[in-house]
């Protein structure tokens, strides 16, 4: 087992693996069908992340010794309040001007923040496990988080696809918002670990992901120019969402 510098280095590798998807989302010429497919895959990944993040929080919330189906009331309350708080804050931001939707860059920032909250929790888990010295478990956590983070660049970039706003500086900034919290979480988790902290950050991630999926679905199912094109687009969307969900599951299962 290495020391603190090795922890920071490995946390950085996990968090910044999100940049491995950058060459794909920066491609200069992307066909409209490919954009629709990537958007759908991104939605599928986010849907999987909802389930994945909740499963992490549930292992803490449902720890009542009397029954595995009874929740710890304090953790459950903190979880619900954090989800509602995050969701309502985003709703208030988007609807501060009636009839005006979030700009693509802002929507991408919301997705990046949601993934950042999730990665912060993952970093906390990694840092706490490193401090305890469970080498075998560390390997599983590192590989799993690394592979999962590789896929997370697509949901962040999805709102910008086809918008002409995929400047490398913008995407790098958004990817850092999503990836750097892994390093922060690793450092914090090494010195301090709290179940309540994990539950709150998981809940904030769920609130942000849940809210960000809605406008992405709205755009995904927007009718095309002709009925035939709309039908083909819907087929792509249905297939892409399934592929994204399965991809997220398979990467997480490795």
Distance CA 24, CA 127 (A): 31
pLDDT tens-digit profile, the chain (254 residues): 567 888 888 888 888 888 988 887 777 666 778 888 888 888 988 899 899 889 989 988 987 666 667 888 899 999 999 999 999 998 887 777 666 777 888 888 989 998 989 888 888 888 888 877 766 666 766 777 777 788 888 888 888 876 665 678 889 999 999 999 999 998 998 888 888 988 999 999 999 889 888 888 887 888 887 888 888 889 999 999 999 899 888 877 76
Distance CA 81, CA 76 (A): 9
Closest C-alpha to 232, from 40, 25, 29: 40
Contacts of 191 (CB under 8 A, 6+ apart): 127, 131
pLDDT at 203: 92
pLDDT at 82: 95
Contacts of 201 (CB under 8 A, 6+ apart): 117, 118, 120, 121, 124
pLDDT at 254: 63
Distance CA 197, CA 204 (A): 11
Radius of gyration over every alpha carbon of the chain, rounded to an integer in angstroms: 19
Distance CA 41, CA 241 (A): 5
Distance CA 147, CA 196 (A): 26
Runs of H (alpha helix) within the chain:
4-16, 22-25, 32-61, 73-94, 104-132, 135-151, 153-157, 168-191, 195-220, 227-253
Under a CB-based contact definition with an 8 Å cutoff, are residues 210 and 87 in contact?
yes
pTM beyond 0.75: yes
Burial group, residue 112, by CB count within 10 angstroms (0-12, 13-18, 19+): buried
Distance CA 233, CA 91 (A): 28
């Amino acid at each position: 087992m290495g020391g603190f510098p090795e922890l920071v280095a490995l946390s950085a590798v996990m968090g910044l693996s999100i940049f491995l998807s950058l060459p794909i989302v920066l491609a200069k010429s992307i066909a409209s069908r490919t954009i629709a497919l990537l958007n759908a895959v991104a939605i599928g990944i986010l849907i999987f992340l909802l389930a994945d993040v909740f499963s992490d929080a549930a292992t803490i919330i449902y720890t009542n010794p009397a029954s595995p189906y009874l929740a710890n009331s304090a953790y459950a309350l903190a979880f619900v309040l954090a989800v509602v708080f995050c969701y309502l804050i985003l709703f208030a931001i988007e609807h501060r001007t009636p009839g005006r939707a979030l700009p693509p860059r802002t929507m991408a920032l919301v997705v990046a923040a949601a993934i950042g909250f999730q990665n912060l929790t993952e970093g906390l888990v990694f840092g706490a496990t490193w401090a305890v010295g469970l080498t075998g478990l560390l390997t599983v956590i590192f590989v799993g988080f690394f592979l999962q983070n590789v896929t997370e660049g697509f949901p962040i970039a999805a709102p910008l696809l086809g918008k002409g706003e995929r400047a490398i500086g913008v995407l790098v900034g958004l990817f850092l918002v999503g990836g750097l919290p892994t390093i922060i979480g690793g450092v914090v988790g090494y010195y301090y670990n709290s179940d309540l902290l994990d539950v709150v950050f998981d809940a904030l991630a769920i609130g942000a992901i849940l809210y960000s999926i809605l406008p992405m679905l709205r755009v995904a199912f927007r009718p095309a120019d002709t009925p035939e094109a709309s039908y083909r687009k819907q087929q792509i969307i249905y297939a892409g969402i399934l592929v994204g969900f399965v991809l997220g599951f398979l990467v997480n299962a490795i």
